[in-house]
Amino acid sequence: MVQVIQNEAATAAANFTLHDVAPWAGTDFEALNHATHGLDAPFGVIDLRALATNAHAMLQRAGGVPIRVASKSIRVRSVLESVLALPGYAGVLAYTLREAIWLVQHGIDDVVVGYPTVDLEAIGELVADPRLAQQITLMVDSVDHLDAVDAVIRPSKRPAVRVAIDQDMSLRSSILGHIGVRRSPIHDPREAFELAAAIVRRPGFALVGMMGYEAQIAGLGNAPIGKPLMGFILRALQSMSAAELHERRAAAVRAVRSIADLEFVNGGGTGSLESTASDASVTEIAAGSGLFAPTLFDNYAHFRHAPAALFALAVVRRPTAEIATIMGGGWIASGPHGPDRAPSPVHPAGLKFVPREGAGEVQTPVTGPAARDLAIGDRVWFRHTKAGELSEHLDTFVVVDGASAIGTVPTYRGEGKVFL
């Protein structure tokens, strides 16, 4: 007979804040197992002490510059709300307009959509509600984005739509080529000014901000394990890029401010909090991944955050004495294809994927010394490569404080929302 063990604390709705939380002292898997005893895998946990430690560390790294929380790196509304309750955090950087509308409808009153939208139905909802139009800012990098809004409803029939210009922060080197991501076509100050002038001339729009994401600094680990020379090169490249983009961004901001009263200039990300904060033209920094601290952010020389989001899977087979097979596991992260996009088994220590199978869609064989001791029904703990994408695989997280479960919080998915 199977004994069903109830863990009422781990299944009740969680109510928590990030004020006065005990400091994180390392991931204690014995405590995690105790807090989540009786739960069937798969499930995810948020380590409250790690989350609070990260939230305060990010504020310290930002040096007093306000942080706008990047929601794509969280995708848990209650976590967004708890972080925003801390002094130093202000507003959300959303990833779709539909998400922004949903967040405002649930009480978050300052949302910038970090990417352009051509979702005409969502635009229609935005302009039909003056409160939404006042509390949501759209991102643009072309007059075509303005045309998309006008195609829904004429300027004379709607409130002014708040917009911000996305400036490309990549490094363009005559020797190295394009270093960074390919987003906005607006690169130099002249291009920023010309688009700003076009917006100012258009009725029905209010130019209120600028944004630029320096991915080559914020999202690129500069201390790869076992590659000291590569780390040295990356840090030198990032330093060069920071100097160039600070000068170029400042010039663009000056040009745009000459014709528009900007409320904010947003920059950066988790990996660039320090360098972005040193740019006097920036008024706020967007960051979110550092709150959960996935493995993608392990390899930085200047900071190390605490793993705050983990997930557990169960062993269901023992095909050989050296291999244990886990149910699930193929929660692969977006980005350039490679081994670093797979989740990392972190407990028991010493597990690794079978090379010819990797992390599987339904089952994942693991090997290594620790695999010999795993029995059917045992748990294996993992960390995801990216922060918010873990939330797309789970309906809830169990919030854990030490060896105690506070309760659960729903992810976007758990609230019935999948925005991308």
pLDDT digits (tens, 9 = 90+) for 287-328: 999 999 999 899 888 989 999 999 999 999 999 999 999 999
Q: Which pLDDT belongs to residue 12?
A: 67
Q: Which pLDDT belongs to residue 3?
A: 37
Portions of the chain given CATH number 2.40.37.20: 8-49+304-415
* pLDDT confidence tier of residue 260, bands split at 50, 70 and 90: very high
Check whether 217 has a pLDDT greater than 90. Answer: no
Q: Which pLDDT belongs to residue 125?
A: 97
Instruction: Output the CA–CA distances (angstroms, integers) from residue 97 to 57, 184, 186, 398, in the order listed.
Output: 30, 18, 21, 28
The CATH code of domain 50-292 reads 3.20.20.10
* pLDDT confidence tier of residue 5, bands split at 50, 70 and 90: very low
Q: Which pLDDT belongs to residue 418?
A: 93
Mean pLDDT over residues 146-173, rounded? 94
* pLDDT confidence tier of residue 223, bands split at 50, 70 and 90: confident
* pLDDT confidence tier of residue 8, bands split at 50, 70 and 90: low
197/100 Cα distance (integer angstroms): 26
353/344 Cα distance (integer angstroms): 9
Check whether 131 has a pLDDT greater than 50. Answer: yes
Contacts of 419 (CB under 8 A, 6+ apart): 95, 96, 98, 99, 102, 412
Read off the tokens for 98: 């539909």
Check whether 337 has a pLDDT greater than 50. Answer: yes
358/275 Cα distance (integer angstroms): 37
* Phi-psi domain of 63 (left: phi exceeds 0; alpha: psi -120 through 50; beta: other): left
DSSP character at residue 416:
T
The CATH code of domain 8-49+304-415 reads 2.40.37.20
Kindly report the pTM of this predicted structure. 0.91
Mean pLDDT over residues 16-27, rounded? 86
Q: Which pLDDT belongs to residue 11?
A: 62
Portions of the chain given CATH number 3.20.20.10: 50-292
Mean pLDDT over residues 148-171, rounded? 94
